[in-house]
Homo-oligomer: A and B are copies of this chain.
Amino acid sequence: MSAKPLDTIMSPSSIAITGASNNFVKMGTIQMLNLVNCGFPGDIMPVHPTEKTVLGKKAYPSIKDLPYAPDLAIFVVPTRLVPEMLEDIGKLGTKHAVIITAGFRETGGKGRDLEKRIIDIARTYGIRFLGPNCLGIVNTHLPLNITVAPILVHGGSFSLASQSGTYIAQSVKFLQKNGIGFAKAISVGNEADISLADCLEYLGDDDRTKAIGLYIEGIRDGARFLEVARRVSVKKPIVAQYVGGTEAGARSGSSHTGAMAGPDFIYDGLFAQAGIIRVDTIEEVYRIGWALATQPPLKGTRIAVLTNSGGPGTAIASTCNAANLEIPEFSPGIQESISELIPGHASPRNPVDLTFHMDMDTLAEKIPEILFQASEIDGIIIHGIMDTGFLELMYPVAKDYIPMSKEEFLKASQVRIDKLVRMPHTYGKPLLISSFFGKEDHAIDEFHGSRVPTFDSPEKAAKAMAAFYKHLLIRKRNSSGKAERPEMTVPAEAREILDGRKASAIDEYMAKRVLRAYGIPTAQEHLARSPEEAIESARRIGFPVAVKACSPSISHKTEQNLVFLNVNDEDGVRQACDSILSAAPDAGILVAEMLRGKREFMAGISTYAGFPPCVMFGLGGIFAEALKDFTIRLAPLSRDDALEMIGSIGAKALIGPYRSMGEVDRNALASVLMRLGDLALDFPGIKEIDLNPVIIEDGKPKVADALMIIR
A-side residues, CB < 8 A to B, are: 22, 24-25, 27, 30, 33-34, 37, 55-56, 79, 102-103, 106-107, 111, 135, 148-150, 162-167, 170-174, 177, 215, 217, 241, 243-249, 251-253, 255-257, 280-283, 305, 309-315, 317-322, 326-327, 329, 344-345, 347, 349, 351, 353, 355-356, 358, 384, 386, 389-390, 393-394, 396-398, 400-402, 436-438, 440-441, 456-460, 558-559, 598-599, 619, 622-623, 625-629, 650-654, 658-660
Contact = CB atoms under 8 A, between A and B. Distances in A.
A255 B311 contact: no
Nearest to A459: B281
A163 B345 CA distance: 17
Given A150-B397, A660-B558, A318 B244 contact: yes
B245 A318 contact: yes
Given A24-B401, A150-B397, A244-B318, A282 B458 contact: yes
Given A384-B170, A437-B173, A660-B558, A165 B626 contact: no
A273 B346 CA distance: 36
Nearest to A623: B654
B248 A283 contact: no
Nearest to A619: B627
Nearest to A456: B174
Contacts of A174: 436-438, 456-457
B327 A252 contact: yes
Contact of A311 (B167, B177, B329, B344): B167
A460 B319 CA distance: 19
Given A102-B355, A170-B436, A172-B393, A256 B345 contact: no
25 contacts: A22-B401, A30-B398, A33-B398, A33-B401, A55-B401, A103-B345, A111-B345, A150-B397, A163-B311, A165-B309, A166-B310, A173-B393, A173-B436, A173-B440, A174-B436, A243-B317, A246-B321, A248-B351, A249-B317, A251-B329, A252-B351, A626-B651, A627-B629, A627-B651, A628-B650
A424 to B, nearest CB: 22
> How many copies of this chain does the complex contain?
2
B321 A248 contact: yes
Task: List the 9 closest A-B pairs by CB distance, nearest first.
Answer: A164-B311, A249-B318, A256-B310, A246-B321, A166-B309, A248-B327, A626-B653, A248-B317, A248-B321
A174 B438 CA distance: 8
A306 to B, nearest CB: 12
A272 to B, nearest CB: 19
A400 B54 CA distance: 12
Given A310-B257, A440-B173, A659-B622, A318 B393 contact: no
Contact of A622 (B164, B598, B627): B598
Contacts of A327: 248, 251-252
Contacts of A394: 30, 33, 149-150
Given A166-B310, A397-B34, A651-B623, A353 B173 contact: no
Nearest to A658: B626
Q: Could you say which of A165, A397, A441, A658 has the most chain B C-beta atoms within 10 Å of its C-beta? A: A397
Contact of A459 (B164, B244, B282, B329): B282
Contacts of A389: 173
Given A33-B401, A162-B311, 16 more contacts: A24-B402, A33-B398, A103-B344, A166-B310, A170-B309, A174-B456, A243-B318, A248-B351, A249-B315, A252-B353, A257-B310, A282-B459, A283-B459, A559-B660, A625-B659, A626-B658
A320 B622 contact: no
Nearest to A386: B170
Contacts of A162: 311
Given A164-B314, A315-B241, A438 B255 contact: no
A10 B162 CA distance: 50
A271 to B, nearest CB: 16
Contacts of A241: 315
Contacts of A165: 309, 311, 356
B256 A311 contact: yes
Given A103-B345, A312-B164, A459 B280 contact: yes
A558 B658 CA distance: 13
A651 B165 CA distance: 40
A403 to B, nearest CB: 10
Contact of A282 (B257, B282, B457): B457
A347 B255 contact: yes
A394 to B, nearest CB: 6
A314 B281 contact: no
B311 A246 contact: no
A349 to B, nearest CB: 7
